Structure 1
Amino acid sequence: MSMLEEFKTFAVKGNVVDLAVGIIIGGAFGKIVDSLVQDLVMPLVSKVLGGLDFSSYYLPLNGQATGLALAEAKKAGAVFAYGNFLTVALNFIILAFIIFQMVRLVNKVRGEAPPAPPAADPADVVLLREIRDALKNK
């Protein structure tokens, strides 16, 4: 089989196509969740916590003034932007929770039941175990 035919077989397998579709949809879904966090969740959290905007919290590392906006502070030197990290971490937690809920829903729709308990041992195996145990106890 030539390399071209081998690649064609690999590329048209269902797993590769499914993976590509999943990556594309995942990227678009990530943008939706990012907008959800930035535009809806974080303003509510900010309102509850007294008007705080996490994304602009930083510590200057080069001695620049602390009253600057984050973008201006980054231009002036290195900053430790912990507020932006908190926003991204919250974004990840929400994304992971939403994906978890989607997987649960898909499994429920598919009708996938939890794994069945292991089957009982056949009678002859049970009898042989009893004989073995009786011989051990003599």
Structure 2
Amino acid sequence: MSIVQEFKEFAIKGNMMDLAIGVIIGGAFSKIIDSLVKDIIMPLISIITGGGVDFTQKFIVLGSNPNNLQSLDALQKAGVNVLTYGNFLTVFLNFLILAWVVFLMVKGINRLRKPQEAAAAATPEDVALLREIRDELKRRPQ
């Protein structure tokens, strides 16, 4: 079998299409989570912490700041070494929310699958009848 034929079978089976669909939906879902964190959660946290807090502008200047620059953009343009922990916190919060939502989705899907698996694992009537006969024969005195 040629490699082209093997690839064609792989693509037709659906594995590649399932993966492609998952990546596309995952990318779109990530944008939704980013917007949720940036546009809804962070403003709420800002209000709780006293208002006016923009976590993306939280940073620590590492090393010297010869021109005494105060904004993150100006520091980065001047080439000053800056530890931008606020941006990390925002990205980390995005990750936690995304992981939580994926966990809930998988949990929901597993809950939907359990009744189907239980139905599939049900013993056929003839096997159940044979087991009853076997158990009855074991109970009879010899």
Q: What's the TM-score once normalised by structure 2's chain length?
A: 0.72
C-alpha displacement of 1:71? 2.1
State the Cα deviation string for residues 10-38 of structure 1 (Å, max 9, x = none).
22222221111101100110000000000
Aligned residues with identical type, % of pairs: 52
Report which stretch shifted further, 103-112 or 70-79: 103-112
Unaligned runs of 5+ in 2: 122-142
Cα distance in 2 for residues equivalent to 1:99 and 1:2 = 39
Q: Secondary structure at the match of 1:50?
A: coil
Q: 1:2 to 1:33 in 2, by over 3 A?
A: same
Q: 1:38 to 1:112 in 2, by over 3 A?
A: farther
Q: Secondary structure at the match of 1:108?
A: helix
Alignment of 1:60-99 (within 5 A): 60-64=61-65, 65=68, 67-68=70-71, 70-77=72-79, 78-99=81-102
Aligned equivalent of 1:55: 56
User: How well do the aligned residues superpose, as a CA RMSD in angstroms?
Assistant: 2.2
State the Cα deviation string for residues 82-107 of structure 1 (Å, max 9, x = none).
01001110110011001111111222
Unaligned runs of 5+ in 1: 117-138
Which one-letter code corresponds to 1:57 in the other structure? K
Is contact 1:54–1:87 with CA below 8 Å preserved after alignment? yes
What number of residue pairs does the alignment pair up? Answer: 115
Aligned equivalent of 1:27: 27
Alignment of 1:95-134 (within 5 A): 95-112=98-115
Q: Runs in 1 of length 4+ with deviation above 4 angstroms?
A: 112-116
Q: 1:102 to 1:41 in 2, by over 3 A?
A: same
Q: 1:67 to 1:114 in 2, by over 3 A?
A: farther
